[in-house]
Amino acid sequence: MNRLDNSPQTPESAGISLYELNNRVRQVLCGGMSGEYWVQAELSDVRSNATGHCYLEFIQKDPRSNNLIAKARGTIWANVFRLLKPYFERETGQAFVSGIKVLMKVTVEFHELYGYSLTVIDIDPSYTLGDMARRRREILMQLEGEGVLTLNKELELPMLAQRIAVISSATAAGYGDFCNQLQGNPYGFAFHTRLFPAIMQGERVEESVIAALDAINAERDCWDAVVIIRGGGATSDLSGFDTYMLAANCAQFPLPIITGIGHERDDTVIDSVAHTRVKTPTAAAEFLINHLRETADRLEEYSNAVAYYVDRRMELEHTRLERLAAKLPSIVGMIGLRETHRLSVMEQRLHTALANRLTHEQHRLDLLSQQVRSASPEHLLKRGYSITLKDGKAVTDPAQVQQGDELTVRVWKGEISVVSKVKASKFPRLSGD
């Protein structure tokens, strides 16, 4: 019991030792919590030593403030850890590292020296898978809400996709397999590839791959597509490809992205936003080869179709020309008859026109002749008019005649000689002897 008075105390009556107190705590905990418990927590400070034991911390954060609200030390003994770790990573595709949420079966331990801890005896991967799936769903829902989820999928892969930018590790066997598969394709297709090196496992996956994407984007006109391949490695290293920032960069990238970063059953966030997802680096190479082969087949079909239609058109035109050639004599005969008839009609029309013109001109000449006859001196003389001549010239003015001039008066049937006696008046009269 607590001592509240201020009376002197002997060393024997001062209390119990810390060891004894911790021992009593241990007895209480072991007596009251002797069973096994499934505990939900986030892993922190995960580390293993040379003996194979794993030491870690279990933590819990306030979902609203993200402040730490609980913490406990944990231990996974070597005999359990060498079975538990590969089982967990195989089932989840997630590395057993700090930051993941787990559901573990533990026993409560208390040691006088080391204090309170939890000893792990089992793990449920489905809980972590559920949490990982939830995070992936949240990322995908966020991208969909931003309207960028399917942008890369909507890009059209060029028919002649031969310029390939590759994001992978420079020393990865998968990268070599990818290049060898492309260069050794059975169709002899030529591919131009260039490696943009990146870290493909660990904590720096996100920033490294994004940096490689930025480098490709700076010269995007030089490339037809981007291939992201892991080039080997543990399935547990896939968590680096399940981040929002990397997924957002891939979804909005201006070139089609082909991913081959996991195994058949693995599906990361960037697989969901990429243009095309394949299983392995080799599968990525086969996809590009098959795409080019389909293009070549399509071009061959177009070429054969063009050749067929050209041949068909030539046959049709040849047949048409033969029909025209067969019809040509009759056509020429018909044209000759038509032209002969046309010439005959034109000749008839010409004769008619000439006759009409001649009649018209004859009539006009008759009129002119009549007018000429009417205006001739003989006609005037016949009508009773006369012409007075002096020295063989017609007298038109009395002033031309002097007293005693010999004049000749010409009438229709002869001439009369007269001598002028007086000067002519304004309107002189002719007189004879």
Q: Are residues 147 and 289 in the same domain?
A: yes
For residue 13, the model assigns a pLDDT of 58
Q: Are residues 81 and 180 in the same domain?
A: no
Q: Are residues 23 and 113 in the same domain?
A: yes
- The arithmetic mean of pLDDT across residues 54-75, rounded, is 88
Domain boundary, last residue among 92, 123, 154 = 123
Would residue 51 count as lying in a domain? yes
- The arithmetic mean of pLDDT across residues 334-350, rounded, is 87
Would residue 310 count as lying in a domain? no
Q: Are 230 and 281 within 8 A, CB to CB?
A: yes
Q: Are residues 111 and 151 in the same domain?
A: no
Q: How confident is the model at residue 174 (pLDDT cuts 50, 70, 90)?
A: confident
Q: How confident is the model at residue 188 (pLDDT cuts 50, 70, 90)?
A: very high
Would residue 318 count as lying in a domain? no
Q: Are residues 168 and 75 in the same domain?
A: no
For residue 341, the model assigns a pLDDT of 87
Would residue 111 count as lying in a domain? yes
Query: Regarding beta strands 163-168 and 192-197, do their DSSP bridges make them parallel or antiparallel, or are they unpaired?
Result: parallel
Q: Starting at the edge strand that comes first in sequence, how are the strands of the sheet with 192-197 ordered?
A: 192-197, 163-168, 225-229, 257-260, 276-277
Task: Record the tokens describing residue 292, joined without a space.
Answer: 């080019």
For residue 78, the model assigns a pLDDT of 96
**Domain range spanning residue 107?**
11-123
Q: Are residues 54 and 116 in the same domain?
A: yes
Note the pTM of the prediction, 2 decimals: 0.56
As a whole number of angstroms, the distance between CA 109 and CA 88 comes to 24
pLDDT digits (tens, 9 = 90+) for 209-222: 999 999 999 999 99
Q: Are residues 165 and 82 in the same domain?
A: no
Q: Are residues 86 and 32 in the same domain?
A: yes
Q: Are residues 63 and 155 in the same domain?
A: no
CB atoms within 10 A of CB 130: 14
- The arithmetic mean of pLDDT across residues 348-357, rounded, is 90
Would residue 337 count as lying in a domain? no
Q: Are residues 117 and 146 in the same domain?
A: no
Domain boundary, last residue among 237, 267, 294 = 294
The least confident of 28-32, 178-182, 411-415 is 28-32
Q: How confident is the model at residue 430 (pLDDT cuts 50, 70, 90)?
A: very low
As a whole number of angstroms, the distance between CA 249 and CA 271 comes to 13
Cα dist from 153 to 51, 206, 252, 270, 405, whole Å: 49, 21, 10, 11, 134
Distance of CA 175 to the CA centre of its chain: 30
For residue 424, the model assigns a pLDDT of 47
Q: Are residues 252 and 146 in the same domain?
A: yes
CB atoms within 10 A of CB 427: 6
Would residue 128 count as lying in a domain? no
Q: Are residues 190 and 227 in the same domain?
A: yes
Number of structural domains (the chain) is 3
Would residue 6 count as lying in a domain? no
CATH number at residue 164: 3.40.50.2300
Would residue 338 count as lying in a domain? no
Domain boundary, last residue among 123, 150, 183 = 123
pLDDT digits (tens, 9 = 90+) for 282-339: 999 999 999 999 998 988 888 888 888 998 999 898 888 888 888 778 777 788 788 8
For residue 10, the model assigns a pLDDT of 53
